């Protein structure tokens, strides 16, 4: 038990970043757990506990700041829920090396998004009914991504709300936390039924993530993002590089490449 206490500060750091950016702390937690030898399914299934704790704390704080679009968040959250159930079931039979290479590309996409956040937000937006339908439909896919990779669907929800619906980052990230509350809760239930998570590890991550969410929501009002974005993007790219390198050098992928 004592040798796993390091998961609390990991959850705290991931909670701060997840709350501020709106992508979910799993983008930090899952690759680190994987690097330390945690099986992919366990790493992905431990994350929803931290994500739920983080989203509860963040939602409370952002609600007080009046930065959450409740009607949109509730609709997308409910639509994403069936996807999280499917993603959890699929993750049962996920090959470790396939998990690594796919997750590596997810990390690369995340780093690109983080670097281009300001440019994306400053673009002119034209909202069409077709685009709104597409965004809502994509919520189901985001649920699958959230549960399968254990990263939270924020990597899909936030860009879509900003680019497709013209929402500012000041509201997109908080609304994403409300959506992730639904996605993570359903992920917890299904992963637990399937026997994937380690509840002690999940508890430590959840403790840290809760307080990280409170801190991150407050910091998001005043922190300068440039250096933070660069640092996070570099870390994500390094993590993606290692995951992809490891998977390509494994025998199962050497036959393909």
String of DSSP letters for 31-53 = HHHHHTT--HHHHHHHHHHHHHH
* 253, pLDDT greater than 50: no
Residues 6+ apart with CB under 8 A from 126: none
Q: Which of 37, 8, 39 is nearest to 25 (CA)?
A: 8
pLDDT mean over 133-138: 74
The span from the CA of 216 to the CA of 57, in Å, is 10
**How far is the C-alpha of 35 from the C-alpha of 32, rounded, in Å?**
5
**pLDDT band, residue 190 (cuts 50/70/90):** confident
**What integer is the mean pLDDT of 11-23?**
84
Q: What is the pLDDT of residue 81?
A: 87
Tokens of 123: 């673009």
Q: Is residue 254 predicted with pLDDT exceeding 50?
A: no
Asked if 152 and 25 count as a contact pair (C-beta separation under 8 A), the reply is: yes
> Residue 84: which of 159, 228, 219, 186 has the closest Cα?
186
CA distance 232 to 223: 14
10 Å Cβ neighbour count for 151?
Answer: 28
1 burial (CB, 10 Å; 0-12 / 13-18 / 19+) is exposed
In this prediction, residue 189 carries a pLDDT of 87
Domain boundaries, the chain: 2-254
pLDDT of amino acid 10: 92
Is the CB of residue 1 less than 8 Å from the CB of residue 40? Answer: no
Choice between 251 and 51, residue whose per-residue pLDDT is larger: 51
| Nearest C-alpha neighbor of 202 from the set 57, 22, 8, 3 | 8
Task: Supply the pLDDT for residue 214.
Answer: 93
User: How big is the chain by its Cα radius of gyration, in Å?
Assistant: 17
pLDDT (0 to 100) of residue 59: 92
In whole angstroms, give the CA distance from residue 196 to residue 153.
20
Please check the confidence at residue 6 and state whether its pLDDT lies above 70: yes
- Who contacts 63 (Cβ-Cβ below 8 Å, separation ≥6)? none
**Contact status, residue 157 vs residue 176, Cβ threshold 8 Å:** yes
């Amino acid at each position: 038990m004592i040798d796993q206490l390091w998961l609390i500060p990991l959850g705290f750091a991931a909670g701060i970043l997840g709350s501020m950016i709106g992508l979910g702390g799993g983008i930090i937690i899952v690759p680190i757990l994987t690097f330390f030898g945690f099986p992919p399914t366990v790493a992905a299934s431990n994350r929803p506990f931290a994500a739920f704790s983080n989203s509860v704390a963040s939602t409370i704080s952002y609600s007080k700041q009046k930065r959450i679009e409740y009607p949109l968040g509730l609709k997308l959250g409910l639509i994403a829920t069936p996807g999280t159930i499917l993603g959890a079931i699929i993750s049962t039979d996920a090959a470790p090396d396939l998990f690594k290479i796919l997750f590596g590309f997810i990390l690369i996409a995340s780093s690109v998004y983080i670097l281009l956040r300001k440019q994306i937000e400053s673009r002119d937006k034209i909202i069409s009914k077709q685009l709104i339908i597409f965004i809502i439909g994509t919520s189901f896919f985001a649920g699958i991504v959230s549960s399968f990779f254990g990263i939270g669907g924020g990597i899909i929800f936030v860009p879509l709300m900003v680019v497709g619906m013209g929402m500012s980052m000041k509201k997109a990230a908080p609304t994403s936390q409300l959506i992730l509350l639904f996605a993570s809760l359903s992920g917890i239930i299904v992963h637990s039924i399937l026997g994937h998570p380690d509840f002690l590890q999940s508890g430590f991550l959840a403790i840290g993530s809760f307080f990280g969410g409170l801190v991150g929501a407050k910091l998001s009002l005043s922190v300068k993002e440039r250096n933070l974005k660069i640092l996070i993007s570099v870390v994500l790219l390094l993590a993606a590089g290692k995951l992809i390198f490891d998977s390509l050098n494994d025998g199962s992928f050497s036959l393909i490449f």
